[in-house]
Amino acid sequence: MKRYSAFAIAREAARHHTGWDRAWRDAQPKKKYDVIIVGAGGHGLATAFYLGKNFGITNVAILEKGWLGGGNTGRNTTIIRSNYLQDPSAAIYEKSRSLYETMSQDLNYNVMFSPRGVIMLAQTQHEVRGYLRTAHANALQGVKTEFIGPARVKELVPIINIDGPRYPVLGGLYQARGGTARHDAVAWGYARACSDMGMDVIQRCEVTGVRTEGGKVTGVDTSRGPIDCDKLGGVVAGHSGHLCDMAGFRLPIESVALQALVSEPIKPCMDVVVMANTVHGYMSQSDKGEMVIGGGTDGYNNYTQRGSFHHIEETVRALVETFPMVSRLKMLRQWGGIVDVTGDRSPILSKTPVEGMFINCGWGTGGFKAIPGSGWAMAELMAKGHSPLTDEFSMHRFREGKFIDESVAAGVAH
Amino acid sequence: MLILTCPCCGVTGEETEFHAGGEAHLKRFGPGSSEDQFEEYLFMRENPKGVHFERWRHVNGCGKWFHAARNTMTLEVYGTYSAQTHTPPQDLRDRISEKVPGWSWREFQ
């Protein structure tokens, strides 16, 4: 792999850009791999990358039914933060956030990580108490956050209306090292690094069956023929239930649509990410100048990657009240993704009833921020059989009542 | 935008008039049940790609609960029926079979 650098750009500029390589090989499936990862989104590619980097396992295939990063990796609002309440969540999300800090250098690929700060607005007394509790929990967990008053919110976000009328801003939970990154670049950077280690990233290869023998996984059937493997990792977000159905067990997951939209590009007006969870809306400004907007999920099971129009109206209505200037913006694009939501709104990184098969799913509405940490932990789980980061996230925690309850605690618009 | 007909009051409305209530025909388990049964009842869900039976409430209308048969891949609503039943009516299942041959959902097909 040729390294990307300022020198490389100058060299290629001098020869009409004829020397650039493909970022990753267009691999054909082999008969057998040590490890197969199903799903070439951010989480799947990160899992493969850390299997190679941390454990030297490089006979790996990453299978993708569509195109690389075409699912939720390319459909989210790119927010990165780690201000969760529960200890296991804070551990894996903070690991993830810290890996984002050096990801561009680690992958030699500019993922445009921008630690511009994330504010979660407190707009009711209940939220004030909740976020104070989270700020205290974060202090104990070693996650740097602080609770700030309305005047500081206004100073950081001049376009905000802090006076209400329905929901005045009473303060906010501020994580200064939270921010955003370029979502496609995260997938592309990992894919390039995986390919460079000799792994096969195979696109347009849909898994149609999971083959087992005596309760142990032996391979998968795909649209491009059967492929054998010793270990199988299912990292397919909204389609996890479908994959596990092929393997013969069930998951405590429901798949619903979550939508996002962007406005026309405007001049820089907001250099932090603002989440308003009481009114269900969050917004940041991309480097192109578009206001990137997200809201809550639809209420019913859905696999169509499109959601209900009235949810967009609710989200925009909430944001117009909080940021009056957005009422004049035209919206350019709107899209939906299928998110996999668990009963306690926390992910599942777990062994399964099928020996040798592992799953990483249930990230629900907040998976992008977790990509590197999730991959790091999942790789350790698959290589060693356990990981301190995933111990609490077993799929069996529901029957044991050991929830990692972030459904209200995370304060996220689910 | 889904369009549903409430079988209780007969009104047809857009989904904003209704509220989704999750999977239908769950078997409820009480004290004395095993951990497996509790887990199945409280957390495990069918979550199919295709035909799905689910509960809805006519919140901005008569307020009653009812059941709907819907496709999660196409968003087509096959029909709605009373909540006072343990099984989807046979004529509805026949209608679904015409459109999706070989479908199955839990013990129904």
Per residue in A183-213, pLDDT (tens digit) is 999 999 999 999 999 999 999 999 999 999 9
CATH H superfamily, domain A25-109+182-253+344-400: FAD/NAD(P)-binding domain (3.50.50.60)
Q: Does B91 touch chain A (CB under 8 A)?
A: no
Whichever domain contains B18, its CATH number is: 3.30.2270.10
Asked if the Cβ–Cβ distance from B74 to A301 is below 8 Å, we say: no
**What does pLDDT average to over chain A?**
93
Contact between A235 and A38 under an 8 Å Cβ cutoff? The reply is: yes
Under DSSP, the state recorded for A116 is -
Would you say the ipTM is above 0.90? yes
Tally the C-alpha atoms within 13 A of residue A331's C-alpha that lie toward its C-beta.
16
Instruction: State the Cα–Cα distance between residues A15 and A110, nearest whole angstrom.
Output: 23
Which residues form the domain of B74? 3-99
Under DSSP, the state recorded for A370 is G
At a CB cut-off of 8 Å and minimum separation 6, what does B103 contact? B50, B51, B96, B97, B109
**More confidently predicted of A291 and A343:** A291
At a CB cut-off of 8 Å and minimum separation 6, what does A403 contact? A343, A344, A346, A397
Asked if the Cβ–Cβ distance from A239 to B2 is below 8 Å, we say: no
Let me know if residue B50 belongs to a domain.
yes
Q: Is the pLDDT of residue A70 over 70?
A: yes
Nearest-CA distance from B75 to chain A in Å? 7
Give B30-88 pLDDT, tens digit per residue: 899 998 899 899 999 999 999 999 999 999 999 999 999 999 999 999 999 999 999 99
Query: Which residues of B, range 59-88, sit inside 8 Å of A by Cβ?
Result: 70, 72-75
Nearest residue of chain B to residue A304 (CA atoms): B73
Instruction: State the Cα–Cα distance between residues B72 and A325, nearest whole angstrom.
Output: 37
Chain A environment of B22 (Cβ under 8 Å): 254
Q: Does B106 touch chain A (CB under 8 A)?
A: no
Let me know if residue B20 belongs to a domain.
yes
Let me know if residue B105 belongs to a domain.
no
Chain A environment of B39 (Cβ under 8 Å): 252, 398-399
Strand locations in chain B (E): 3-5, 12-14, 19-23, 51-57, 65-71, 77-82
Domain A118-179+255-342's class?
alpha beta
Asked if the Cβ–Cβ distance from B1 to A300 is below 8 Å, we say: no
Domain ranges of chain A: 25-109+182-253+344-400, 118-179+255-342
Give A98-139 pLDDT, tens digit per residue: 999 999 999 999 999 999 999 999 999 999 999 999 999 999
Q: CB B75: neighbour CB atoms within 10 A?
A: 16
Q: Does A255 touch chain B (CB under 8 A)?
A: yes
Let me know if residue B54 belongs to a domain.
yes
Q: How many domains does chain B have?
A: 1
At a CB cut-off of 8 Å and minimum separation 6, what does A160 contact? A153, A154, A169, A274, A322, A323
Q: Is the pLDDT of residue A1 over 80?
A: no
Q: Does A309 touch chain B (CB under 8 A)?
A: yes
Let me know if residue B109 belongs to a domain.
no
Q: Does A206 touch chain B (CB under 8 A)?
A: no
